[in-house]
Chain A
Amino acid sequence: MKYAALLTNNADDVAAWEQMTAEEAAAARAEEVPKWEKLFADLGPSGVLGEGFELDSPATAKTVRVRDGETLVTDGPFAETKEQIGGLMEIEAEDLDAAIAIASRIPLVLRASVELRPVIEH
């Protein structure tokens, strides 16, 4: 079964990120990157991890609506929630338990959450 894993960011972490200097941010990322590399090294070969995207901060989002033929673009994300989507991954797993096991190894899950949604295959 194919699942989309929606990876969220903890709002406090995002706020902390935005306060960091470029050097601090780079150092923090340098700490995170090996964890992701380990995840891909462990699970990559088995083909359970599909495409993945890390998203830029919600501050860089634009929200698009079309009403009565007119396109309206506003700055910011769709919803002002405490947790925001920070990334998205495809997971190929035999069942939900297998998907949960994979999701529980994603580094972000320690401080935020991963939402698993089945993908509708056409």
Chain B
Amino acid sequence: MTTDVGRVFKEEWGRAVAALTRVLGDIQLAEDAVQDAFATALDRWPRDGEPASPGAWIITAARNRAIDRIRRDQVFTRKAEMLARLQALAADEGDVSPIPDDRLALVFTCCHPALAAESRVALTLREVAGLTTSEIAHAFLIAEPAMAQRLVRAKKKIRDAGIPFRVPPDHLLPERLRSVLAVLYLVFNEGYSASGEGVPIRDDLCDEAIRLAKLLAVLMPDEPEALGLLALMLLHDARREARVGADGEIVLLADQDRGRWHRSRIDEGTRILERALSYRRAGSYQLQAAIAALHLEDTTDWPQIAALYDELARVEPTPIVELNRAVAVAMTHGPELGLELMNRIDLPGYHLLHAARADLLRRLERNDEAAAAYRDALALEMNSGDRAFLERRLGEVVRS
């Protein structure tokens, strides 16, 4: 029963925090009120049964907790005004729809560029997704007190520096949306890059990222990049279980057991991508999703993938994009051309650059150079799945 309360509450958490933040003007106060409501729910719901509209129940309970707290607090500034606004919060326990959904404002606030990047991620997961501080700390392999402090400081900055609680005006929206999408994609990659490590929370991170991306797509249905990001996540996530072998080693796409791909996610991702592309406003995430979709086909259309990477490199000229483009060019026009492009890329600490070079050298049967490149890669930081794979490859080129 407790798990059910937890699950339902987590689904309603973001909406409740957003509604209370709108009224109270402070995320911490809102979070405290909703947390209090949670405690009450844990006590009441097992006895009285789950309410007809959990969302309305939670907002009403949080509102009442906030009223109690403010009444008791003698020195609370603007007390009368605050109480009036709380009373005005349309709270009918049976129906949540009269309460405006302020989650979009909450997302943009948590992802504001004036907050440190790691704070944006932590704050979004706490306030919008409803993860506990402990869960977030665990997901990012940071001690809980440090994560708690990070969250407290972020909320303090929002309050003290005057970060507004709102969806940004049109002229700021494109750059602010990029920040939000970057946060969500970061969460997804945290989960995805370590998937199969046997730590359950990592898969949950992918699920959380997808849930947030779906929320964003619902709240911003005419934003093709929001749709593109969701499509990208779904198309990657579809292969989650096939990516890692029984021994924990990364399985290349070409070698994956397609029976273990989630067809429903592929279909969903493809549908959403098509909807995004229909807006005719291409962007980085849509392009990446289109590339991901091409990779899922039975025969890989490398020339088409290379062409998409050309587009992507124009929109997002980063070394990582250049690397992926070089791989596609290698598959289309031969390893020498790919190597030429790779030699121009500057990504010092990135093991996949060395690994990609090593692979092309291996195909050209330049085994000594390939071995050197594999060793360069292995000297760097990477997850255990990648390491096992690269060690095996190194063994192969050394033996041949």
Contacts and interface: CB of A to CB of B under 8 A. Distances in A.
A5 to B, nearest CB: 13
A116 B162 CA distance: 11
B259 to A, nearest CB: 50
Contact of B114 (A1, A94, A96): A96
B160 interface: yes
A28 to B, nearest CB: 32
A97 B164 contact: yes
A28 B54 CA distance: 66
Contacts of B162: 1, 3, 93-96, 99, 118
Nearest to B163: A96
A44 B26 CA distance: 32
Chain B interface SS verdict (over half): loop
B88 interface: no
A19 to B, nearest CB: 32
Interface string A11-25: 000000000000000
Contacts of A100: 114
B168 interface: yes
Contacts of A97: 163-164, 168, 172
A95 B108 CA distance: 15
Interface string A60-93: 0000000000000000000000000000000001
A17 B161 CA distance: 34
Interface residues of A, number: 11
B161 A118 contact: yes
Interface string A101-122: 0000000000000001010000
A64 B29 CA distance: 43
Contacts of B160: 118
Interface string B133-175: 0000000000000000000000000001111100010001000
Interface in B90-130: 112, 114
Contact of B164 (A3, A96, A116, A118): A96
Contacts of B112: 96
B253 to A, nearest CB: 43
A10 to B, nearest CB: 22
Nearest to A117: B161
A116 B168 CA distance: 19
A109 B163 CA distance: 21
A3 B162 CA distance: 10
A1 B112 CA distance: 18
Contacts of B168: 97
- Residue of B161, B163, B168 with most partner-chain A CB within 10 A: B161
Interface in A1-41: 1, 3
- Residue of B160, B161, B162, B168 with most partner-chain A CB within 10 A: B162
A96 to B, nearest CB: 4
A1 B163 CA distance: 11
A97 B175 CA distance: 13
Nearest to A99: B162
A99 B161 CA distance: 10
A92 B114 CA distance: 18
- Residue of A94, A95, A100 with most partner-chain B CB within 10 A: A95
A96 B166 CA distance: 12
B172 to A, nearest CB: 7
A95 B114 CA distance: 12
A3 B161 CA distance: 9
A100 to B, nearest CB: 8
Contacts of B161: 96, 116, 118
B161 to A, nearest CB: 5
Nearest to A97: B164
Interface of A: 1, 3, 93-97, 99-100, 116, 118
22 contacts: A1-B162, A3-B162, A93-B162, A94-B162, A94-B164, A95-B164, A96-B112, A96-B114, A96-B161, A96-B162, A96-B163, A96-B164, A97-B163, A97-B164, A97-B168, A97-B172, A99-B162, A100-B114, A116-B161, A118-B160, A118-B161, A118-B162
Given A94-B164, A96-B112, A96-B161, 17 more contacts: A1-B162, A3-B162, A93-B162, A94-B162, A95-B162, A95-B163, A95-B164, A96-B114, A96-B162, A96-B163, A96-B164, A97-B164, A97-B168, A100-B114, A116-B161, A118-B161, A118-B162
Pick the 10 closest A-B CB pairs, nearest first: A95-B164, A96-B162, A95-B162, A1-B162, A96-B163, A96-B161, A97-B164, A118-B161, A96-B114, A118-B160
